[in-house]
Amino acid sequence: SQQGEEDPQALSIQEGENATMNCSYKTSINNLQWYRQNSGRGLVHLILIRSNEREKHSGRLRVTLDTSKKSSSLLITASRAADTASYFCATDGLDSSYKLIFGSGTRLLVRP
């Protein structure tokens, strides 16, 4: 079973707008990560947030984590056509070290 579930499944926005995608998970975690996948390619790591952190920034990316709700959000500001990709959250559980579980992903389309 997948640990994380992303919402929405698909998102279409205009270039310059912000994109927000959410991830919910089921069990307690050590860390939560976000990855990006261009069509037909491998995944690329974007950002990691630890369970004792609430917010983290990296360039145009902002990630929040709410462990009480078992949820995280990824905000991409001032989106560009090149941001078009699928975005996945991944978690490693407290009781399952090394086991990295991915969610179902959000497909983002940024229209020029």
Partner 1 sequence: DGGITQSPKYLFRKEGQNVTLSCEQNLNHDAMYWYRQDPGQGLRLIYYSQIVNDFQKGDIAEGYSVSREKKESFPLTVTSAQKNPTAFYLCASSSWGQGNTEAFFGQGTRLTVV
User: How many CB atoms sit inside 10 A of residue 3's CB?
Assistant: 23
Comparing C-alpha atoms, which of 76, 59, 80 is closest to residue 16?
80
| Closer residue to partner 1 in complex, CB, 62/107 | 107
Residues that bind partner 1 (CB under 8 A): 1-2, 6, 30-31, 33, 35, 40-45, 48, 50, 88, 90, 92, 97-105, 107
* Minimum distance of partner 1 from residue 61's CB (angstroms): 15
Tokens 């069990």, residue?
A: 27
* Minimum distance of partner 1 from residue 96's CB (angstroms): 9
Note if the bond before 112 is cis, omega within 30 degrees.
no
* Minimum distance of partner 1 from residue 97's CB (angstroms): 8
